[in-house]
A and B are shown apart, each in its own frame.
Chain A
Amino acid sequence: MNQDGNKPHLTIALAGNPNAGKTTLFNSLTGLNQKVANYPGVTVERKEGVWNIGDRSATLIDLPGLYSLDATSLDEEIARNVITGQVENVPKPDVIVSVVDATNLERNLYLSTQLLEYGVPVVIALTMIDVFEKRKHEIDIDKLSETLGVPVIAVNSKADRGKDELADTVVKIVGSAPKLPYELNGDSPDGDNSRIFARYGFISNAVQESVRHNDKIEHRVSERIDRILTHKVFGLAILVLILLTVFQAIFSWATLPMDLLESGFGALGDGVRTLLPEGILADLIVDGIIAGVGGVLVFLPQILLLFLFISILEDSGYMARAAFLLDKLMSRVGLHGKAFLPLMSSFACAIPGIMATRTIEDKRDRFATILIAPFMSCSARLPVYTLMIGAFFAGQTVLGFVSLGAILMLAMYALGISVALVVAYILKRTILKAPPPPFIMELPPYRMPSLRTVFQNMLTRAWLFVKRAGTVILAISIILWALMYFPRSSQPTVVTDQQTESANPESSQLRNSFAGKLGHTIEPVIRPLGFDWKIGVALIASFAAREVLVSTLSIIYNVGKDENEQSETLISAIRDAKDDNGNRVWTPLTALTLMVFFVLAMQCMSTIAIVRRETNSWGWTIFMVTYMTGLAYVAALITYQGGKMLGFE
């Protein structure tokens, strides 16, 4: 022990990967006696505590959770500065306790080897040892310590195992200089890459020599499956096949409950009409509330099925393999590896997805992810896609057995992803230029999905959908009904003459209502997309929330219906709708155009609000709404006009 070994007060840094058990150990060593502040000038949390080691006291600094010290993120840069004593008011550590998760040795030891290169004494605290032993694995701690050239102590904070030994070791190694157990060829032409290979090569040997895994067969099987599922050709083909199967199942399995729900809401409307005296109240309840809310709620079975499949794929470990496949593609366009999770979350809803971008350190990477997250087809788009597919493409198959609806649905999801990648590519090479940082992705083991987790996830999402239908959609439905119901007109007025009226079975009430006038005002803009004024009204309303399109169309075709017309489903109302000249308003091409518009347009008030909050900038928010709406318009225009030129209707 040299002079430093007798220092009365020590500074000890605690470093480790996220989720390695660092905080548990920190709390256990300091007895929750800690101070939390920020590192000067940045938002990175600085946690310090007092660790009493015998008759000495030490300041224990909990470094941010890290995978490496490559300084590609702010956390890594700060950790590196703390270790080298370059942070103001933070003394250079006397010892580093490297917290290593025993169940993830190879990944965790990468950081430990980097710590050794800084010349500060290191002791390895092996956590999760109880889980490791429960899995019947064996580890020769002395051998590992000998290979690494540093003390290794197995600790279990809950059982108080190894704490005293760790304290003794820390005191013992103060002032010593660690000897690097492998050679670094930093000057070689490979530069940093050769260092990475040297570290991994050394770690692999060290683990092989000291650890005996007793799940080799399972490991081998898992590796073989991974080789196929993450293969750039087979993996992608399997992903497409799985998604096609999921969409096909959603369409076929949901048909019966959806039909039942639709009949149920129809019967409810008829029942209300019978019970209530004819008049404005019955009109509001049947044509506004039941048609609006019911029109959206009939899609509940599909939402349930979609989330059932997503939960199964997630819980089985497959989703991580899909992430690995797409990560290669994402890194090619310049997106950060950490962008995958926010983008995945955005398939359910863009709001949690955008909030999840907080894990991305670099502002440019984070903003690029925020700006493309709404392209992922969220669950609110599902009713729109399903309505269009159900009305114009239902029952059609490709190759005799693949549902055209499932293919179209897959195509819409693929369109969103493709456009997002292209936009990211452009953004990362222009206004958000930054090199993509390296990213290590961990593949979780395969397992049987837990029924409890799967159903819990599915029901949580379903409840959100129902809650939204019962609150926001209900309120918007009532307001829209009022806009379509007032002002009351008994005679055809300025907009239509008697001739047109006789050719058109729709009531003059709707066209002369507030909503009707608004729709006619914007009709010239949307006409080139093949949309009439009624679709225009639905498009405006759906800027509040995407699924409002369905409820609005449902109200429009209910309010616009002649009094002696029989109640019909929304799908048949859409199929039969005629314009002023007696031509069909909706064709398969119109439906496809509307779906394309919905994939790309920014029609969600909540998402706009969250983008404003997360970027803290009106500029970026307006930029996003403008470019997405512009892109949606152009893509819809190309789809409609291109389709017409090719002879489609």
Chain B
Amino acid sequence: MFDLQFLIVALLIAGAATYAAWTFMRKSRSFSKKSDCADDCGCSSKSKTPKAAH
């Protein structure tokens, strides 16, 4: 039976699930491959692509 208590609980569960999914998505961005980093070089702070001096 969809009473008020059940509705609040359903909203809380949906909110928690959304937050967890959003956090996971945010983290998973870290999992994606970086285009400006060569394989296994690590993407510390700089691109590995050589740049000429100005």
Contacts and interface: CB of A to CB of B under 8 A. Distances in A.
Interface of A: 35, 37-38, 40-43, 45-46, 48, 89, 277, 279-281, 284, 358, 363, 366, 471-472, 474-479, 482, 605-606, 609-610, 612-617, 620
Given A613-B30, A617-B39, A475 B19 contact: yes
8 contacts: A42-B50, A89-B52, A363-B41, A605-B24, A612-B31, A613-B30, A616-B34, A616-B40
Contacts of A620: 40
Nearest to A615: B42
**Which of B12, B37, B38 has the most chain A CB within a 10 Å cutoff?**
B12
Given A358-B42, A476-B16, 13 more contacts: A37-B51, A40-B50, A43-B44, A48-B53, A363-B41, A475-B15, A475-B17, A475-B19, A475-B23, A605-B27, A613-B30, A616-B39, A620-B40
Given A37-B54, A41-B50, A42-B50, A616 B17 contact: no
Nearest to B53: A37
A609 B8 contact: no
Nearest to B21: A475
Contacts of B47: 43
B42 A614 contact: yes
A609 B27 contact: yes
Contact of A616 (B15, B16, B41): B41
A47 to B, nearest CB: 10
Contacts of B52: 37, 40, 89
A43 B48 contact: yes
A35 B8 CA distance: 59
Given A358-B42, A606-B27, A616-B43, A284 B9 contact: yes
Nearest to B45: A358
Contacts of A40: 50, 52
A296 B4 CA distance: 29
A43 B20 contact: no
A35 B50 CA distance: 15
Given A43-B47, A281-B5, A478-B12, A609 B28 contact: yes
Contact of B16 (A38, A479, A605): A479
Given A38-B50, A280-B5, A478-B16, A616 B33 contact: yes
Contact of A363 (B8, B34, B40, B53): B40
Interface centre among B15, B53, B54 (most CB of A within 10 A): B53
B46 A38 contact: yes
Nearest to A281: B5
Nearest to B8: A281
Given A37-B54, A281-B5, A613 B43 contact: yes
A565 B7 CA distance: 28
A105 B54 CA distance: 35
Contacts of A277: 5
A35 B9 CA distance: 59
Given A37-B51, A38-B51, A617-B39, A281 B20 contact: no
A40 B51 CA distance: 6
A125 to B, nearest CB: 24
Nearest to B33: A616
Contact of B30 (A41, A48, A474, A609): A609
A232 B16 CA distance: 52
Contacts of B53: 35, 37, 46, 48, 89
Contacts of B37: 616
Contacts of B48: 42-43
B13 A482 contact: yes
Given A35-B54, A609-B28, A479 B44 contact: no
A474 B16 CA distance: 8
A36 B23 CA distance: 36
A399 B27 CA distance: 48
Contacts of A363: 40-42
Given A35-B54, A616-B43, A475 B20 contact: yes
A606 B29 CA distance: 11
A620 B40 CA distance: 9
A280 B3 CA distance: 10
Given A279-B5, A280-B6, A475-B16, A358 B28 contact: no
Contact of A471 (B9, B19, B33, B50): B19
Contacts of B27: 605-606, 609
Contact of A43 (B15, B28, B40, B46): B46
A641 B4 CA distance: 51
B38 to A, nearest CB: 8
Contacts of A610: 30
6 tightest A-B CB contacts, nearest first = A478-B16, A609-B30, A43-B46, A281-B5, A358-B44, A475-B16
A51 B44 CA distance: 31
Contacts of B6: 280
Best-buried of B9, B31, B39, B50 by chain A (most CB within 10 Å): B9
Contacts of A482: 13
A316 B42 CA distance: 34
A616 B42 contact: yes
A613 B41 CA distance: 10
Which residue of B15, B34, B51 has the most chain A CB atoms within 10 A of its CB atom? B51
A606 B43 CA distance: 17
B40 A617 contact: yes
Contacts of A474: 16
A43 B45 CA distance: 9
Contacts of A284: 9, 12
Contacts of B50: 38, 40-42
Listed residue (A40, A358, A475, A482) with the most chain B CB atoms within 10 angstroms of its CB:
A475
A475 B28 CA distance: 18
Contacts of A478: 12-13, 15-16
Contacts of A614: 42-44
Contacts of A37: 51-54
A615 B40 contact: yes
Nearest to A355: B44
Nearest to B41: A616
A479 B42 contact: no
